[in-house]
Amino acid sequence: MKNNFLLHGAWILAAILSFTIGANFFPANQRVDVAGPASGVGKSGLADRGEKGNAVEGALGATPSGKPDGGNGQSDALQPLLRKLSGGDIEILGEQFRKGTNPIERRMAFTALLAGLTAENALQVRKQIEHMDHRSAEFREFHYAWGAVGGAEAVMFGADTEEDDMSPALTGWASADPEAALAWFNNLDMENNAGFDALLKDRKIPAADLNGHLMRGLVQGLADANPDTASRFIQDMVASGHEGAEGMIHIVAGAVMRSDSPAEAALWSEGLPEGKMREMAMNRMAGHFARSDPEAAASWAENFSSEPSSAGVIGEVGQNWARRDAQAAVDWLESLPAGNGQNIGMHRAMHQWAERDPTSASEHLSTMAASDSKDAAVRGFSSRLAWENPQAAMSWAESIGSDEQRRNAIIGVGRAWSKRDADGAAEWMVSSGVSEDVQQAILNPPKRDDDGRRRR
């Protein structure tokens, strides 16, 4: 009796074990022969090159004969989704990624690595790409993908490395799970988190800088998932007094510009809440739209020609349209109601026109009646002409009606003249009778700091 019991028990145990082994180690359709010979897929060239690309083919789902196996009804493109990479697969793919003999083979190996990436094998996959420059697309995409599958663990891994891998990991995480990434970021207390010691204490990176760096990564990921989420997050950051947060709208704008048509992107920016962030986004989109379709951009921009905060939109359209067709751009600008938008647009459009065809530009200026808009146009024109013909540019600058505009134009032309021909500029200053303060402003232009920004 006891023997019988043991016999049945042993067989039942064997059946359970058998199921477990089948499920874990021999899943149907797993391509065990990762390094099996591939041949004859293509008509020539890469696809015919024998032993090369085997692991890639395997990992991407080709059969050992090199032909895709559609027998189970799963697509080739889906194969990576169903395929677990073994440690050996990862090593082979890594080798091909590092030493593949052509860029396509290396590219495919990298994609196969990403396709098989899990939170568990991420460190081993990372070893295959760690030789890459941290600014390279591959390095960043790996961390993006790891962030998406690994979340906080992937982000915090970067706290102990030299490279910039925290930010792309956070981007990936935020793109896949915005809520969790946001919550993590908002609860960050870096100074009291030993995980950040290597960055804050050893490398002495200021906490605010690191926070800003991570925030940019977060915003990029939120924008990838949903630009509206990203812009609302920025709004909240601005409201909570985070300095410079508005500027991050450029990250969101970039994501929108990639996915949407210029017209759609412009509409998106228009829908943002009033304020500096919207102004920045609209300006960016106006330039993008105008480069693609200036007439359509102009029609859109006209809606804002009387909004003082949207003057930059008119300026962007005027400038970018003038690059293609300065006369048309200026005609359009002249049709707009007088105001700051028209003036900025005229300044930029005439600057462009002076660069392309100074004779036609000057002829057009001669036909314009005196106005603020003409003053702006002359200022734009003279600022460009100063690099070619400073004497003529100065004559134009001196003809400006508004005292303030004229002074600024003279200083601008004088500075360009001094850089181009210091002796000639000095001679002009002596003979022109310009005031001492204008001379000083010409001779002492604002210095630029290390970032190339003008110091105030």
Partner 1 sequence: MQNKRVIHCSYFLLTTAMFVVGSQFAELPSSGSVLPKKEKPDPFVKASPIQEISALAGAEKPTASPGQNDSSTGQGVDRQPLLLSLPVGKWNGKGLQFEDFALEKGPLSEGQIEELVLAAIKSSDPVERRRAFDRILQEMQQDSFTVEQAMTIRKAMANNKASGEQWRDFDYAWGANDPEAAVAYIEQIPDRYRNGYTGNMLPGLASVEPQIAIDLVAEMEGDLQRRMTGRLIEGLADNDIGVATEYVFGLAENEDPHATQHMRKLAREVVDNEGLEGGLSWAENLEEGPLQGAALWQVANEFTNEDPQAASQWAEQFVGQDQNARLFGEVVREWDDREAAEAWVASLEPSQGQRDALSAVFGFKGAHQPHEAVQEIIDMPVSQDRDFAINGFISGLAVQDGESAVIWAAEISDPGMRQAAMIRAGRHFFRQDQQAAMDWFAASDLPEASLSQMAGVKVD
User: Considering only residues 201-260, where is the footprint of partner 1 by CB under 8 A?
Assistant: 223-226, 228-229, 232-233, 236-237, 239-240, 255, 258-260
| Integer Cα distance of 292 and 286 in angstroms | 10
Alpha helices in 49-151 (DSSP H): 54-60, 79-82, 87-99, 103-115, 122-129, 137-150
* Of the residues 6, 37, 51, 75, which one makes contact with partner 1 according to CB under 8 A: 75
* Of the residues 85, 92, 97, 140, which one makes contact with partner 1 according to CB under 8 A: 140
Looking up tokens 């232009």 gives 445
Residues 62 and 76 sit within 8 Å (Cβ to Cβ): yes
Toward partner 1, which CB reaches closer, 288 or 379? Answer: 288
Toward partner 1, which CB reaches closer, 201 or 419? Answer: 419
* C-alpha pair distances (Å), 407 with each of 372, 400, 411, 435, 442: 14, 9, 6, 10, 11
| Integer Cα distance of 373 and 346 in angstroms | 7
Q: Tell me how far, at minimum, the Cβ of 275 lies from partner 1, in Å.
A: 16
Q: Restricting to residues 104-133, which ones interact with partner 1 according to CB under 8 A?
A: 104, 107-108, 111, 114-115, 117-119
Toward partner 1, which CB reaches closer, 75 or 360? Answer: 75
Decide if residue 443 touches partner 1 (CB under 8 A): no
| Integer Cα distance of 88 and 136 in angstroms | 25
Q: Tell me how far, at minimum, the Cβ of 42 lies from partner 1, in Å.
A: 4
**What is the x/- site pattern for partner 1, positions 147-186, by CB under 8 A?**
-xx----------------------x--xxxxxx-xxx-x
* Of the residues 36, 39, 65, 82, which one makes contact with partner 1 according to CB under 8 A: 82
| Integer Cα distance of 211 and 314 in angstroms | 35
Q: Tell me how far, at minimum, the Cβ of 416 lies from partner 1, in Å.
A: 18
Q: How many CB atoms lie within 10 A of CB 172?
A: 29
Toward partner 1, which CB reaches closer, 123 or 137? Answer: 137
With CA atoms as reference, report the closest residue to 384 among 355, 414, 356.
355
Toward partner 1, which CB reaches closer, 169 or 346? Answer: 169
Q: Restricting to residues 20-59, which ones interact with partner 1 according to CB under 8 A?
A: 20-24, 26-29, 41-49
| Integer Cα distance of 153 and 54 in angstroms | 32
Q: Tell me how far, at minimum, the Cβ of 60 lies from partner 1, in Å.
A: 8
Alpha helices in 357-398 (DSSP H): 358-367, 372-385, 390-398
Toward partner 1, which CB reaches closer, 275 or 339? Answer: 275
Decide if residue 193 touches partner 1 (CB under 8 A): no
Decide if residue 350 touches partner 1 (CB under 8 A): no
